[in-house]
Structure 1
Amino acid sequence: MLGDSSSSTGRSGGGPIRTTKPLKRGKACMNCRFLKIKCDGSKPICGPCRRHPKEDECEYSDGPGRSRTKALEEQVLRLEARLQELENPEATTPSVKLHDPYAQYHETQRLSRSPPIFIPQDTAPFAPLSPFSPTSTSSSLPSGRHWNTFSALKPDTEPTGAEEPSQLLIQGMVDKFLPHAAEFGFFLHKPTFRANALLSLPFGHPQRPTPALLSVVYLWGVHLGQSEALLREEPGFLIRAVQHTATDLLGTHPNRVLHTLQAQVLLAYYFFRTGRFLEAKGQTGAAISLSLGSGFHKLRSTNVWPPTILGLFQDTPLYLDHPQTALDEGERINAFWAVFVLHKIITVALEPPANVCGALEAPGIQIDVPWPLETSAYAEGTLMPESSSTVRSFLGGADTLPLDADSISLMVTKASILFHRSAHLTGHWSPNMGQREFQAFAAGFQTVNRLIETFRSQLPPISTYRASDPAIRTLILTHALTDAATIKLHGIFAYADSASKQHCLTAARSIIDCGGVSLQEVGYLNPIMGTLWMSACHVFIDEVSRLRMPASWPQSPTGEELTEEGLMEYLRNGINALSLYSEDNVLTRYQLTKVQEAFNAI
């Protein structure tokens, strides 16, 4: 029996004989106390626990340390006390104070949302148009506060006029952005966009651009305007731009697909310029998905393709609205090529050479959309003929479309293809290639090199354009991308092949010269220009190092090799160009630092 575990009985004199002394109160082990049985108090293990082992070890409350049961009892007491604190916070003093590791982040977010953006009355909204005077605050706009209550979006809220600045500031921001819009991937017809953006209609009205597009343009206007008062509010503008870009496709705006695509392209360039590379790649990927998903790569295709289904509504397919005018269709064509150029630039600039790939030319993706024209040509009713395998024909040498002085968009598109193709090809070069791989590489090398030289011969000289002509900025980019393609292609052989070395030097000199125009008068350029100048500077740095070890490097077969002083002069000009554009450009400022470090190391 359970009660017999602490004693034994026998027959001596006819009565029971107790074999142990009576147990003193409080000397039982914890198990026996819990089970309410008699305990003999033997240590380290009592008799009942020895005869009937239990899951819990035999232990005493007066042992040398805290028993397991005692520790559990104390833990129960602590938890009960903590529960009391949580249920009655006003009546108790917390025993544990928690630290929020994200407190600084939350405070930054709170400041960016509230109080509403405030512009001091004595501060004009914008600085001069030149990007090279960031501290100036002069403006042609009237002074005074021209701002409505303006805060970040809350979930499930409809766009309202309170999310916009005043009409005067809207006009100022739009007019700061549009003169340089093409450098950041703007593909819409500027006069139409400006007129619609300035309509006195509510934010989100179908006759105005989408909230996402307007918000991103306002962000760029603040960024380029360089007003100290507005620059302090730039994070708030960025929050609203990202929020609307992520949600506008859920709305009913008639241009939500095209304008969301435009907003994504502009945001990608903004993040690229400000050194936020992960966000830049994210927006680029989103733009690629949206353009392919909307079928923009099949516009005016000679092949028969079913229309793209955007979704279903009550079991009825939803399609993208058919373009009503040549301008409508032209904007969609240019939208695809803007995404295409962005992808080529971002990939080469931000990915390691071996990772440069052609996501838009992957197997199964055939680009049939015609080459781009200027939006002014579309507005006049001009459209390119239907086409097929546009990029593949160009890379195969079968493209016969000539360049002319009015094909600025076409020029930069083809230059970006050559720039990307050179990087992609040389990124897969290895001195340990097998014979078959080397033959394929050599054939690709000769094809791309021939395409670059042919394309360069068709480009109009930069010097034929005035510095004040907006087209000169795109032409500078086109020449620089073409020359950088040569450097990418020949750079891996320049250390051992004198012809490749000379190709690199000539291309680098062309990038730094910029056709002899004054960069002070040109204004903002595509953010990739810092990468191209840095590439050219490294060519000169490498050549200076070679000249200091003449026996180790090949000599130029033409005898036109620059002296060390001549190389240093080009290098100084390259550093000056980087310095000029680094004042308000995080990416270029970083690239300037890397070039200076490399220069100091030679």
Structure 2
Amino acid sequence: MLSGNPPTTRGSSSGPIRTTKPLKRGKACMNCRFLKIKCDGTKPVCGPCRRHPKDDECEYADGPGRSRTKALEDQVSRLEARLQELENPDASTPSVKLHDPYAQYNETQRMSKSPPLYVPAEPTVFVGPLSPFSPTSTSSSLPSGRHWNTFSALEANTELAGSSGHGHSTSPIRQIPSTSPFLGAEEPSVLTIQNLLDTFLPHASEFGFFLHVPGFRASTLKPLSFGHPGRPSPALLSVVYLWGVHLSKSDALLGQEQAFLTRALQHVSTDMLGTHPNRIIHTLQAQILLAYYFFRIGKFLEAKWQTGAVISLALGSGLHKLRSANNPPPATLGLIHDAPQYLDHPQTLLEEGERINGFWSVFVLHKLMSVALEPPLSVCGPLESPGIQVDVPWPLDISQYIDGLFTAEIRGNSTVRSFLGGLPPASHSGDSSAAMLTKASILLHRATHLSAQWSPNMQQREFQAFAAAFQTVHRLIEGFRAQIPQLAGHETGDPTVRTLILTHALADAAIIKLHGIFSYADSSSKQHCLTAARNIMHCGGVNLPEVGYLNPMMGTLWMIACHVFIDEVSRLRSQQPWPETQATPTGNELTEEELMEYLRNGLAYLSLYSEDNVLTRYQLTKVQEAYSAI
């Protein structure tokens, strides 16, 4: 290569630049080399580039600066070398050495007995894992009457609960932008946690909570870190905190509900990948609570998604075969080193009882969601699929497991199928409040599905099969209603009262669903519907404002009863005569004013529970629209 530029002579100011020495090989500009044309080597712009300008400037490899083309060639060479290094890691020395950017922070957290909350100087924060499948906002369906559009982050100075514990969270920590709704705290302060538990736990059973409440509260308040195996799993804690915020009357907490929801969804999405010893049962509980939460705030698609996920988890874990008389093999949860993994054997009767009650909580959730959100012809779901046989015994109340009433000889065999067939149970009769609620949900689900099968154009054989099934379900409902304990004698604040209110209402709604399709043409069916609707409105004589929160399904049941009264008022106002083939009802007829009084009670109940319940508010609107149309 020449040591300098070749000497040149210049003609006129506008004349071409000419070389005084012949062009040596390899001195062509980059454009001419690429196009493989003869270059005169004239600088700064050669003849071919001057005569035919191109997008790329005329550049020489030995120019005073590094040409763009040369830079691109060098970059290609580096990438090819890196690709070769990645494809053959054993044959080369890595050019990039990875390190843990959080090692120092994690070590500080482990060594310090009372670590200060980490707030980095840069506009980033440390939070738990962010699932790519977790929605970042659910405000589209939230009620406008509350501060849903002003959700803010958890305070940056929130104290980490359980900082004196020796354990640490099993969830990895990562950085996300400062637009995240979290500012470093995995949990609220201990005082806030206590307030959230006091708000939620007295009403927890209404939203599918099946764990032992005192034990859950005690483990939650242990001075251990978030995610420690001695405390509930991060997913369950996060969802319980969310419910506490949702039911609170504090504007400051309600303003952070979206942040709590986002954190709950993150942990529910990732906790099954962790190592918490109770991750299966606690994730099951968390998903049930989330399904009821979405149902209550009117996010039906999310509610159905969570319901489907929790059904899959329950069936996949083999909970429907616990204490089976058929001795099925345990469900395989996975393989580690080619060895099958199973759900750990319960250590106590209480732990086994929680698993049994957990499955039935999933079962009740499925039945209620199906009736409330699915078309009547589509209410059957995975739990009714061929090959799914529920053998688990009927649930007991948690206190009964503690008292040792769940004896070793209790076994289950085709529990649901035997109940619907009118067969005696294989072991205990299932007369606990939890079992009664389960049976009531089964009957409502069955009546809804059966009534959808009716068609006036049925063939004779189809009609006979329908009539037989109709009579069987009617007898089951009437026999079951006679077995439900009455509400009289229970304290208003007793959680059993709320369970009994829902159980009675479900059984009465089953009668309405079964007979409603014939109430216009058959006086007997009409009387069955009116009696059941009045029972739903009476609520056993309990003063509802003193009862507290009820299961979100109650709004649907009140709406069903209200429509019975609206239909009857409409018939009376139109003076629609009964068919001559039917006996004209006498004596038990309700006047329009009596019907309106029951209807006003129903509207009052819906209005009472619609203040912070989007679903009930929507149902109240639909009932008002139906009434205004008659």
The answer to whether the superposition gives a TM-score over 0.5 is yes
1:581 aligned residue: 609
Question: CA separation of 1:154/1:329 partners in 2, compared to 1, >3 Å: closer, same or farther?
Answer: closer
Separation (CA, whole Å) in 2 of partners of 1:473 and 1:574: 17
Aligned residues of 1:546 and 1:553 also touching (Cα < 8 A): no
Measure the CA separation in 2 of the matches of 1:531 and 1:287: 22
Counterpart of 2:536, as a letter, is I
Q: Is the 8 A contact 2:171 2:227 kept in 1?
A: no
**1:481-510 deviations in whole A, cap 9, x for unaligned?**
000000000000001000000000000000
Tell me the distance in 1 between the aligned counterparts of 2:423 and 2:521: 33
1:187 aligned partner: 210
Give yes or no for contact 2:394–2:430 (8 Å, CA) kept in 1: no
Superposed counterparts of 1:228-247, under 5 Å = 228-247=251-270
Please tell me whether the aligned partners of residues 360 and 395 of structure 2 are also in contact (alpha carbons under 8 angstroms). yes
In the alignment, what sits opposite 1:148?
159
Deviation, structure 1 residue 157: 2.6
Question: Alignment partner of 1:312: what SS?
Answer: strand
1:210–1:248: 8 Å Cα contact kept in structure 2?
yes
Q: Structure 1, unaligned stretches of length 5 or more?
A: 1-75, 78-83, 85-112, 118-133, 136-143
Please tell me whether residue 594 in structure 1 is matched to residue 622 in structure 2. yes
Tell me if the contact between 2:160 and 2:185 (Cα under 8 Å) persists in the aligned partners.
yes
- Deviation of 1:435 after TM superposition, in Å, equals 1.4
* Partner of residue 456 from structure 1, selected from 476, 481, 487: 481
2:569 corresponds to: 544
Which residue matches 1:278? 301
The 5 Å alignment of 1:264-303 reads 264-303=287-326
From the superposition, tell whether residues 225 and 258 of structure 1 become closer, same or farther in structure 2 (CA, over 3 Å).
same
1:534 deviates by 0.3
Aligned to 1:372: 395
- On the 8 A contact 2:395/2:434 being kept in 1, the answer is yes
Partner Cα distance (1:194, 1:276) in 2: 28
Among 279, 284, 290, the alignment partner of 1:261 is 284
Letter of the 2:527 partner, please give it.
Q
User: How far apart in 1 are the matches of 2:555 and 2:331?
Assistant: 38
Tell me if the contact between 1:161 and 1:202 (Cα under 8 Å) persists in the aligned partners.
no
Alignment of 1:88-487 (within 5 A): 147-148=158-159, 156-157=172-173, 162-383=185-406, 385-400=410-425, 401-402=428-429, 404=431, 407-487=432-512
Equivalent in 567, 571, 591 of residue 599 of structure 2: 571
- Measure, in 1, the Cα distance between the counterparts of 2:590 and 2:619: 25
State whether residues 502 and 556 of structure 1, in contact with CA within 8 Å, keep that contact through their aligned partners in structure 2. Answer: no
Q: Report the CA distance shift for 1:421/1:358 in structure 2 as closer, same or farther (over 3 A).
A: farther
Counterparts of 2:224 and 2:328, CA distance in 1: 38
Q: Which residue of 2 aligns with 1:507?
A: 532
Q: Decide whether the 8 Å contact of 2:126 with 2:174 is kept in 1.
A: no
SS in 2 for 1:463: coil
Tell me which amino acid in the other structure corresponds to 2:286. A
1:489 to 509, 514, 534: 514
Q: Which amino acid aligns with 2:562?
A: C
Shift of 1:402: 4.4
Q: How large is the RMSD of aligned CA atoms in angstroms? A: 2.7
CA distance, structure 2, for counterparts of residue 569 and residue 417 of structure 1 = 31
CA offset digits 1:114-147 (Å, max 9, x no partner): 9999xxxxxxxxxxxxxxxx99xxxxxxxx9983
Q: 1:377 to 1:234 in 2, by over 3 A?
A: same
Output the amino acid matched with 2:484.
L
Q: Under a length normalisation based on structure 2, what TM-score does the superposition of the two structures give? A: 0.71
Going from structure 1 to structure 2, the CA distance change for 1:183 and 1:322 (only over 3 Å counts) comes to same
- 1:149 Cα deviation from its structure 2 partner: 7.6
Distance 1:191 1:487, change over 3 A: same
Task: Show structure 2 runs of 5+ residues with no match.
Answer: 1-54, 57-67, 69-122, 128-144, 147-154, 162-168, 176-182
**Number of equivalences:** 467
SS of the counterpart of 2:372? helix
Does structure 2 conserve the Cα–Cα contact (< 8 Å) formed by 1:534 and 1:591? yes
Distance 1:115 1:398 in 2: 60
SS in 1 for 2:334: strand
Q: 1:157 corresponds to which letter in structure 2?
A: I
Deviation (angstroms), 1:154: 14
8 Å CA contact 2:170–2:227 kept in 1: the answer is no
Question: Per the alignment, in what secondary structure is the counterpart of residue 228 of structure 2?
Answer: coil
User: CA shift at 1:553, angstroms?
Assistant: 3.9
Distance in 1 between residues matched to 2:184 and 2:157, nearest whole Å: 14
Q: Can you list the C-alpha shifts for 1:453-475, whole angstroms capped at 9, x where unaligned?
A: 00001111122322122210000
The 1:114/1:499 distance shift into structure 2, 3 A limit, reads farther
Greater mean deviation of Cα atoms: 488-497 or 436-445: 436-445
Deviations 1:186-206 (A, max 9, x none): 000111100000111010000
TM-score (normalised: structure 1): 0.74
User: What is the distance in 1 between the residues matched to 2:380 and 2:623?
Assistant: 26
Contact 2:321 2:391 in 1 (8 A): yes
Percent of counterpart pairs with the same letter? 68
